[in-house]
Structure 1
Amino acid sequence: MVNCCGLLTNRKEPGTRLLCSLMGDPVVMVSLYPEFPQDVMSSLASCGEFVFLMDRSGSMGCPMNNSTTQETRISSARDTLLLLLKSLPMGCYFNIYSFGSQFEHIFPTSVEYSEKTMEEALKKVKNMEANLGGTEILLPLKHIYSQSCIPKQPRQLFIFTDGEVGNTKEVTDLVKMNAATHRCFSFGIGEGASSALINGMAKEGGGHAQFITGTDRMQPKVMQSLRFALQPAVGDISVSWDLPKGVSSTILSPPITAMFQGQRSLIYAQLAGQTSDATDGSVTVKYSLAGHPSQNQLHFNLKPAEDTGLTVHRLAARTVIRSLESEQRTHRGQQDEEVKKKKVVELSVKSGVSSSFTAFIAVNKDDGKAVQGPLVRRNIPTPFCGIIVEYQTLFFLLSGLGPLMFRAYTSSQIRLDFSLYVTGPVVRHEAASPPPRKDPLLQLVSLQKASGCWLLDAHLAAALGKASEEVEKAKPASVNSEVWASILALIWLHGFKMDAKEEWELLTLKAVSWIKAQNAPCVSECVEAGNTLLGCSVKKEDLGL
C-alpha cells in the first residue's frame, strides 16, 4: 500500500484569535491509496453470490439528465444490468430483486450463473419498468438477509435507488447487523437520492457508494464497483498513532470499513499538546488482506518547515460537518437532533465551511457589515415539456406557460389541489417516434455468451458493421467459428470503444480466458485477419492473448 501523509499547522498571525480548538490545533491528513500485491489482485474472485436490488419506483421513469437523448433512469438501469450479467464470472451465483411499494425477484433464491439462467434473467430485465410505486427498501432487504448464504460464496449486494426513505436508520442498522456475511455496494441515481441512505448502506456494509448525477453515466461507475466486489475483502482495518509524550490525537474522520485497490481514503486527525524534545510521529494502518494480516507505517515531522495555512483544517472541518449532518438526518426526531445541528452550525461558522444549516452572505467591503435589505425573488426559467399525473383511471397532461392551478378527482371523489409554476415552450406531442437505435456497444455485449465467447452469425456481423459473407470469408481456415467471432469482438472493442473500457473490461477478461482454454491454433493469424477486416491495428498483446 502506498501512503501519503501531510501535516499542516494552523496559521497564527499576530493578533489573530483562534477560531476554535479544531482550527487552532495542528491537523494531520493521511491519504491511503492501496496497491495490493499483484499475486493477490490477479486472483479476482471466480466465486461469490451477487444480488442486485433495483429501484422500480415511479421516479425511475424520469430522464437521467437534461440532455436531448431522454434516456430514463430505468432504461439506463436495464443497460447496466445487461453489462453486469455479462461480466459475472462462471461459477458464481446471482439473483435480481426489484422494489417499489412491494418487491419482486427473478428467482426464488440465488441460482448458479450459466447460459440458461443468464438468458432467463435478461428476458425479465428487458421488461422492467418504473411501475412499482413508492420506495420501500426495508422489506426486500429483510427478505434477502433471511436467505441462507451459500457456502464458500461470499454475498455481494448491489443496491440502486433514486430516492430517499423515512426509515434510513432502520435500513442502515439492518445492513450493519448483516455486514459479517456480505458487502454492500450502493448507487444513488439523480440529485434526489438520499446521501445518508447511500453512504450509510455502503459504510455499514463494508462496500462502496457511488452517485450518478448530472451527465454521469451509470455503467462505468457500476462496473468499477463490480471490480471492487471481485477483489479480495480487506478486513480488520485499524489506525494507530505513535506520538511523543504530551501529544495526543483525535480522529476526525469516520472509521474506515473498506479499502479497495486504487481507491483513495482520507484520514484526518487533530493533534493537541506540546513537546519540547521529540519532533517525529508515526501512523500505522493494520488490516487483513485475503486472510493474511498486513500493516503499513509512515513517519512524519511534527514541525513542518513552513506555515501551510488552514486548507487542511477546513477539509477536516468539512469531514466532521458532513458526518454530523448524516447523523442528524438519520436520527431525526430523537433528542440529540438539535444538539448535532448546533454543533454543525458552530463549526460551520467558525471554520468558514458551508453546511445544510448555514450559507454565505454578502458583506460590504468598506465597513465589513452584512448587506441589509429585503430578499429579492428571481424565477429561473426551466424548460418544461409536460407532466403526466395519474390517479387510477384519471390522467392529466400539462404543458404551457405561467402559473397553473388544477384540480384532480380520483374515482373515490377525493379532491386534490396542486399549484405549479411552469415556464418554457409549449410542446406539441406528435405521434410516438420510433425507438432510438441501440448502442452498438450494448448490441455487441448482448450477444456474448455466459462462458465469454461470441457466436459467428448474422447478428454479430451486424454489430460489427459488416455483412455476414465478409466475416465468413475473412476467417482463417484452421480456426473454429466461435474463436474467430470472439477475437473479432475483442478487436472491435479495443479498436472502437477504448473510451468505454471500464464498461467492457471484465467481460473481455472472460472472453480471453475462454479463448486460451480452447488452445486454438493461429491466434496471431486471426488477429491479423481481424484487423484487416475491421480496419484496426490492435496488437495481440493488447488483447491479452
Structure 2
Amino acid sequence: MVNCGLLTGLNEPVPLKSISVEVRVQDHVASVSSTLQYVNEEQRPLEALFVFPLPADAAVCHFSAKIGEQEIVAELQDKETARDQYDDAVSSGQQAFLLEESAESPDVFKLSVGCLSPGQNAAVTIIYVTELAVQADQSLRFCLPAVLNPRYTPAGSGAGIVSEISSVCGAVPYTLTLSVHVSSPKPISKLESNCTLDPLVFLHSDHTQATVNLSPGHMFDRDVELSLYYQDTHQPSAVVEAGAATAPSDSLMRNPVVMISLYPEFPEEVATPSEFVFVMDRSGSMDRMMHRGNETQNRIESAKDTLLLLLKSLPMGCYFNIYGFGSRFESFFPQSVEYNQDKMDQALKKVKEMRADMGGTEILQPLKHIYSQPCIHEHPRQLFIFTDGEVGNTKEVLDLVKSHAYSHRCFSFGIGEGASTSLITGLAREGSGHAQFITGSERMQPKVMESLRFALQPPVSNISVKWKLPEGVTAETVSPPINVLFQGQRTLIYAQLKGKTLEGSEGSVTVKYNLNGQPVTNQLHFCIKPTEETGLVVHRLAARTLIRSLEQEERSSAERKNLRRTIVELSVQAGVSSVHTAFIGINKDTKQIVKGPLQQRRVPTYGICFDLVSLPAAGRLRGSFPPLAGRLRGSSPPQARQRLLGCLLSGAGDWELLKCASVKGALPHLNYSSEDDADYEVDAQGSEDMPVLCARRKQDYSSEDDADYEVDEQGSEEESVSNRLPLRKAAPELQQDLVLPLVSLQKASGCWELDAALAAVFGKTENELTNQKPAQVDGSVWATLLALIWLYGWRKEQQVEWQFVAQKAAAWIASQKVGDLSQCVCVGNVLLGCQVTKDTLGI
C-alpha cells in the first residue's frame, strides 16, 4: 500500500502501529484515554508527526509517554516555551514529545514524537474530557473523530493547518481498539453505534452500569459514533464536584464546582413569521457520497432534497433567500423575498440546477454579505448553514457570527465524515441556534426538520440565572451568559461554589425568561454535598468553558497581553490545553549523537480522495472546473502530485487512473475560482512543469455536467467535449422515497391539486381519485385530504420530515370551512388502504 502525505517520498514505513481507546461515561460527560503505539522500524533516529481531530469542546488534561518501563509525564507550559524545549531536546538527541492545539481550529491537534531510536517503541497516552451532546431523540452522542479532511484556507491567509494535514485513501496502516464503560444514576436503555459493536454487557441488575467494545476490524474510514439512551434522560440534574486540595486557595480548581443540566419546559407556539436564509456549501467536496454504503446519494443531491422539503415547510408570511458558496458565492434573490407560490417556484427551479461547482469552502464572505443586508421588521432572521465543515479560518468565522448574534439565530449542519466539530458547534453556539451532524447512513432531512422546529419556536428574552444557597455560600457562574433556550433541549451551567459548604444542605438555581411577553420560571433544587473521586472532570470542563470565553475575548480586545497571561495561568493551573499552551515531555535520561537532520515522517489520517477529471492530450480547458476546485487545498504541486499518486496506486475507493499530462506554468494554489480556471495549457509530452495525474470517480456525469467543459485540441473558441473518456457507474439506483415526490406537488399555501401526478404517488389513476370524491368537497380539498391520509397512514415513521407540510395542509383545509369531513376521511381511508382518524389529521 502507498501512503499519501509522507514528507520524504512514498513507500516509507509509518511509525504509528495501533491506537487503543478507553471511554468512561459518567452521566452527561465522558473521559477518554487514547494510547498511541509508535515503533521506529528504520535504521536511523526518527521524528514522527501526527495531526488528528478531537471533539471541539474536548478538554485535553493529560499527556504522557512510556518507553520500555519508563514513563514520562508531560507538563503543560506556555506554547512558545514548550516548542523551544522540544527543539532543544531533539537537537541534543533527547527523546521528546510535544502535543499542541492548532491556532486556527481548536478541534485539530498536532503530536510530535522526537528522536525515536532505531527499533524503539513508544506508547503515547492522551486523556481528554468532553460533554455529550443531546440529540433530537434524547440520546447522548459521543463521537471519536477518525476522519480529518484537509481544511480549506482562503487565499491571502497563512498556511494554517492545511500543510500539516496528511490524509490517506483506504485503510490506514494502524489498528483501533475501543472499550466503553457507562455509569449513570439513571438506568441505561440501550447503546447504538454507526460501527459494529460487541453485545452490551450490564454490570448491575439495575442497568446503571454497562460495558461495550468495538468489534475488531474497524478501518478508520469513518468517525466512531455512539448513541447512549438513558431512561428519563431529559430530567434536570446537578453534580457538585469537590476540588483539589493541592490547588491554590480560593481558585477554580480548589473550590467545589457545580454542573447544572436544565431542560426548559414551555409551551410550543408558532413564532412570529421569520426571515429564513439557507446557506448551502457548493464546494467541490459536496460532490462526495454521503457515506460508503451501496445505496447513497452524494451530498449535494441530499442537500437539494432537503432544500425542497424546507421550502415546502415554510409558513406563509415569512421571507426567505438561498445562498450557495464555495470560492465565491451567489444568492437566488438580491435580497430576501416574501414567501409565495411564485417565489417558491422560482427557488425550486434554481435548486434543481444546483451543482457542487463553486471551488473551495470560503464561508466568511457570504456571511459578511448576509449580515450587511438590513433585517426585515418583525421578522427575526434565521440562518441555516449547510457545510462539510472543512475550513481553516474557523475562529474568524465564529467571531463574525458572534458579533451579529443580536440580529439572528444560526442553525448549522455538518455533512459527512470529517466535518469540523469546532466550526459546526461554534456557529450554533455563537449564533444562539442548534448544531446537527449528518454522518454515516443518516438522512439529512429529519435533522434539518428538527432544527426548523426550533427555529419556529418564539425567541426567549431576558434570560437570568439566580442562585439560592445557604448563608455564607456563594456561586460564581463560570459559563458565559445563556443567550438561547429551546423547548426540550439541555442547557449546561457551570458555577464555582465559594465559602463554607454545609454537608447535606440544599441549594437551588432558578432560570427566568420571557416568552411572548410572559414570564416563565424553571427551578432545580440540588444537594450541595460534593461528590469525591470524580477525576475533576467537571472542574476541567468548567475551566475549558472559561478558557474558550477568554480566548474569544482576547481576539477582539486591546488588552491581549494581559488576557493571554490569564489564559496561560488558568490553563496550567487546571491542566487543560489552550491555544497558548502545549504539553511537553522530555526523556532526559536518554541522549545520543544525532548525525545530520532527523528523518521526519508524517503519519496519515484517513481522508477522502480528490476528485479530478481527465484532461485531454492537448489543448485548452475553458470554463469552471468543479470537480477539481477546492480539492487540493493549499498544497504545493509536489505535495499534490504525491498525495494523488498514493490515492491512485492504492486502488482505494471508486477511482480510476486515466492518463498523464503536464500543466504549463506554476500552480501555487489549487483553489480555483471560475476565473482562475480559464486558460491552463496541457502538454502531453510533460515538457514543462509538473506532471498531472488525471483521475476521476467512477460515476456518471450527465450531459449538463459535460457541457461545462469546453475543450478543443487547437485551442479555438468553443467546441463540445469530444475526447472525454467514458465513465463507469459506481452506485446502484436509490430506491425512490415517495414522500419527497408528494411534498414536491404541494402548493405554498399548503394544498394539493387533484391531478395525475398526485394519483401516481398513490399508485392510482386520476379517474380513480375523481370518481371517489365526495360531493360536498371540491377537488383541492379532496386532494389535500388524501395527501394527509396517505402521509399518516403510510409514512408515519417519517413524520418528523413532513410535520410542517402536514400542519400547513391541515390549516388550509380548516380555512376552507368545508363542514363535517368525517365521511370524506372514511372514503379516503378505503381508497388508500389506511385507517386514519380525522382527529389524527389535526383538522
TM-score range, shorter chain: 0.7 to 0.9
Equivalent in the alignment of 1:292: 518
Q: Secondary structure at the match of 2:369?
A: helix
Determine the C-alpha separation between the residues in 1 that align with 2:333 and 2:793.
38
- Say which is worse superposed, 156-165 or 457-466, in terms of deviation: 156-165
1:230 is aligned to 2:528 = no
Contact 1:196 1:329 in 2 (8 A): no
Q: Secondary structure at the match of 1:541?
A: coil
- What code does the residue aligned with 2:295 have? T
Picking from 650, 655, 664, the partner of 1:401 is 650
- What code does the residue aligned with 1:463 have? V
Contact 1:204 1:257 in 2 (8 A): no
Q: Secondary structure at the match of 1:430?
A: coil
Equivalent in the alignment of 2:808: 510
Q: Which structure would you say has the larger RCO, counting Cα contacts within 8 Å and 6 or more residues apart?
A: 2
Determine the C-alpha separation between the residues in 1 that align with 2:573 and 2:417.
27
What pairs with 1:157-196 in structure 2 (closer than 5 Å)? 157-196=383-422
Equivalent in the alignment of 2:258: 28
Determine the C-alpha separation between the residues in 2 that align with 1:430 and 1:338.
58
Determine the C-alpha separation between the residues in 2 that align with 1:418 and 1:244.
72
What pairs with 1:89-488 in structure 2 (closer than 5 Å)? 89-275=315-501, 279-303=505-529, 309-310=533-534, 313-315=536-538, 317-318=540-541, 320-321=543-544, 324=547, 347=574, 387-388=611-612, 393=621, 399=648, 401=650, 409-412=662-665, 414=667, 415=689, 430=728, 436=734, 438-488=736-786
Determine the C-alpha separation between the residues in 1 that align with 2:573 and 2:299.
39
Equivalent in the alignment of 1:366: none
- How far did 1:139 drift? 1.6
Determine the C-alpha separation between the residues in 1 that align with 2:732 and 2:527.
66
- How far did 1:216 drift? 2.5
- What code does the residue aligned with 2:774 have? P
More helix by share: 1
Structure-1-length-normalised TM-score: 0.80
Determine the C-alpha separation between the residues in 2 that align with 1:450 and 1:65.
33
- How far did 1:221 drift? 1.3
Equivalent in the alignment of 1:8: 240
Determine the C-alpha separation between the residues in 1 that align with 2:608 and 2:406.
47
Determine the C-alpha separation between the residues in 2 that align with 1:347 and 1:473.
75
User: Sequence identity, in percent?
Assistant: 52
- Say which is worse superposed, 60-69 or 237-246, in terms of deviation: 237-246
CA offsets, 1:131-187, max 9 Å, x none?
Answer: 000111222112112222222222111111112433333322322222222222222
Contact 1:55 1:161 in 2 (8 A): yes
- How far did 1:217 drift? 1.9
- Say which is worse superposed, 270-279 or 114-123, in terms of deviation: 270-279
- How far did 1:272 drift? 3.2
More strand by share: 2
- How far did 1:213 drift? 2.3
- How far did 1:67 drift? 1.6
CA offsets, 1:302-343, max 9 Å, x none?
Answer: 237xx57528x52553464377469769989x8777985886
Determine the C-alpha separation between the residues in 2 that align with 1:246 and 1:470.
78
Determine the C-alpha separation between the residues in 2 that align with 1:417 and 1:252.
56
- How far did 1:88 drift? 0.4
CA offsets, 1:371-390, max 9 Å, x none?
Answer: xxxxx99999x899995357
Equivalent in the alignment of 1:372: none
Contact 1:253 1:320 in 2 (8 A): no
Unmatched runs of 5 consecutive residues or more in structure 1: 351-355, 360-375, 421-427
Determine the C-alpha separation between the residues in 2 that align with 1:123 and 1:511.
22
- How far did 1:408 drift? 6.3
Equivalent in the alignment of 1:365: none
Determine the C-alpha separation between the residues in 2 that align with 1:129 and 1:338.
47
Distance 1:476 1:19, change over 3 A: farther
- What code does the residue aligned with 1:321 have? R
Q: Secondary structure at the match of 1:35?
A: coil
Determine the C-alpha separation between the residues in 2 that align with 1:475 and 1:110.
40
Determine the C-alpha separation between the residues in 1 that align with 2:610 and 2:809.
45
Distance 1:541 1:413, change over 3 A: same
Distance 1:284 1:388, change over 3 A: same
Q: Secondary structure at the match of 2:370?
A: helix
Q: Secondary structure at the match of 2:236?
A: strand
Distance 1:531 1:210, change over 3 A: same
Equivalent in the alignment of 1:364: none
Determine the C-alpha separation between the residues in 1 that align with 2:763 and 2:607.
37
- What code does the residue aligned with 1:261 have? Q
Determine the C-alpha separation between the residues in 1 that align with 2:610 and 2:326.
24
- Say which is worse superposed, 88-97 or 274-283, in terms of deviation: 274-283
- How far did 1:201 drift? 2.4
Contact 1:3 1:298 in 2 (8 A): no
Contact 1:45 1:230 in 2 (8 A): yes
Contact 1:94 1:110 in 2 (8 A): yes
Contact 2:662 2:691 in 1 (8 A): no
